[in-house]
Amino acid sequence: MPEAFRSSILHCLSDPGEAASSSAVEYFEDGLLLVEDGDVVEAGPADVLLSKLPEDTRVTDYPGGLIVPGFVDCHVHFPQLDIIASYGEQLLDWLNRYAYPAEARFADPDYAREVADVFVEQMLANGTTTALVFGTVHPHSADAIFEAAAARNMRLIAGKVLMDCNCPAELRDEAAGGMTASRALIEKWHGKGRLGYAITPRFALTSTPGQLQAAGQLAAEYPDVWVHTHLAENRNEVDEIARLFPERASYLDVYDHFGLLRERAVFAHCLHMNDSDRASMAAKGGAAAFCPTSNLFLGSGLFDLPAMRAAKIRCGLGTDVGGGTSLSLLRTASEAYKVLHLQEHALPVSRALYLATLGAAEALYLDDCIGNFLPGKEADFVVLDPTGSSLTARRVAAADTVDEKLFALIMLGDDRNIAATYVRGRRQSVATSPDA
Ligand SMILES: [Zn+2]
């Protein structure tokens, strides 16, 4: 027996582009989303669909709301939740001063489990139903985030970090041991329910050539696991890579050389790249995570979305917490708009939605199962609530179109504007404030 959800409904069918192509989105002012056994049956106009349904179909109404697909976060570090908003450094100093000490605390499996649970709750409170997640070097960090996601039936990809040089001794593994641990985690978690494994070298600066090579071999052995790393985030980092790998044409070429540039490889940041890198990334099927709050907060640079999309690279938004400053994809899209505006590019609201939903699903090679409401996709969705704050209520009341309404929610909204988050058709209970 299907279940129905009635509200305004908006989803993307493809990338609306900088010109906001109207054929790329579908909008139902009074819409109905039909769900059965956790999958989308159909989305369409309420009056048409209701007349076809059995009279006793359960209909949940969200008057004044807006149903959109669950948000997808293409790059985030759950062990950095407790150092979000730490003052004053750029990438390499920030890692040493904040990130590495925070990650060292994950030697304690109980602490890892506690943070994983809070992290997943926070994601759901922000309407995020899928993410590609960094753990720490400790294998039990991956266990912790997978257990937390599995308990809520979330589609989530994660991995244990590989890191065997240029970092504190307590956070180092070594090439062979890191691969043994990663292989065991792949066998344990990859493809279990909705979970997927990502081979996760932190970046080329903290892995020896031997470890990068072993990671590439593991990736070749498991073509359907993901690869997740950082690329060309910060100028000093890029210079350091050039010094360490003088024989390689570029930072991206380091990963390519070791077999880590391929389909299902997702690279966070991609700020300092040239056209030849972009062509190579597109040809090999690599994807980019656009992390605007992090790029601004750490002073890293500006992501060139039009150049990436012109090269036909898959792109989605990433929050990059804790270098990023919010787990909210609404806030992240707001900063993406400003990053593009600074470069004299547009980010129409429909394209912002695309980058947080279908585009992100494409970047993760998950668009066959999530990202919009086509029949048969998994029913992960969010109900946006304009009345979440008095200011959004006032601003949205003055909006004439759905684009204007959603743009205001992106610019002004946050977790207060998430009325409900559904994972495979099931409403998740989320605590959004200490007294909730
Ligand atoms: Zn990151």
In order, the DSSP letters of 50-88 are HHHS-TT-EEEEEEEEEEEEPEEEEEEEGGGGGGSS--S
Read off φ and ψ for residue 183, nearest 5 degrees. Answer: -60, -45
CB 132 within 8 A of CB 266: yes
CA 324 to centroid of ligand 1, rounded, Å: 8
CA 68 to centroid of ligand 1, rounded, Å: 26
The interaxial angle of helices 402-412 and 390-397, nearest 10 deg, is 160
- In the prediction, which pLDDT does 429 show? 82
CA 9 to centroid of ligand 1, rounded, Å: 32
The residue type at 85 = A
Angle at CA 123, nearest 5°, toward 119 and 125?
115
CA 97 to centroid of ligand 1, rounded, Å: 15
CA 322 to centroid of ligand 1, rounded, Å: 8
55 alpha-carbon distance from chain centroid: 39
CA 323 to centroid of ligand 1, rounded, Å: 7
CA 276 to centroid of ligand 1, rounded, Å: 24
CA 230 to centroid of ligand 1, rounded, Å: 6
Total H helices, total E strands in the chain: 17, 16
Which segments of 291-416 are extended strands (E)?
314-317, 381-384
Q: What share of the chain is helix, strand, coil (3-state, %, to 5)?
A: 45, 25, 35
DSSP 235-266: HHHHHHHHHH-TTSSSHHHHHHHTT--STTEE
- Is the alpha carbon torsion for 91, 96, 99, 103 positive or negative? positive
CA 56 to centroid of ligand 1, rounded, Å: 48
CA 30 to centroid of ligand 1, rounded, Å: 39
Angle at CA 235, nearest 5°, toward 233 and 236?
110
- Give the pLDDT means over successive 10-residue stretches in the chain (436 positions): 96 96 97 98 97 94 98 98 92 93 97 98 98 98 98 98 96 92 98 98 97 98 98 97 97 98 98 97 98 97 98 98 97 98 98 98 98 98 97 96 97 98 94 55
CA 92 to centroid of ligand 1, rounded, Å: 12
103-121 per-residue burial string, b: 16 or more CB within 10 A, e: under 16: bbebeeeeebbebbbebbb
Distances (CA, A) of 138 to 45, 170, 207, 306: 49, 10, 15, 37
- In the prediction, which pLDDT does 432 show? 58
CA 216 to centroid of ligand 1, rounded, Å: 20
In the DSSP assignment, the letter for residue 225 is: S
CA 211 to centroid of ligand 1, rounded, Å: 19
CA 179 to centroid of ligand 1, rounded, Å: 21
- In the prediction, which pLDDT does 136 show? 98
CA 184 to centroid of ligand 1, rounded, Å: 24
CA 13 to centroid of ligand 1, rounded, Å: 28
CA 372 to centroid of ligand 1, rounded, Å: 26
CA 46 to centroid of ligand 1, rounded, Å: 42
CA 42 to centroid of ligand 1, rounded, Å: 36
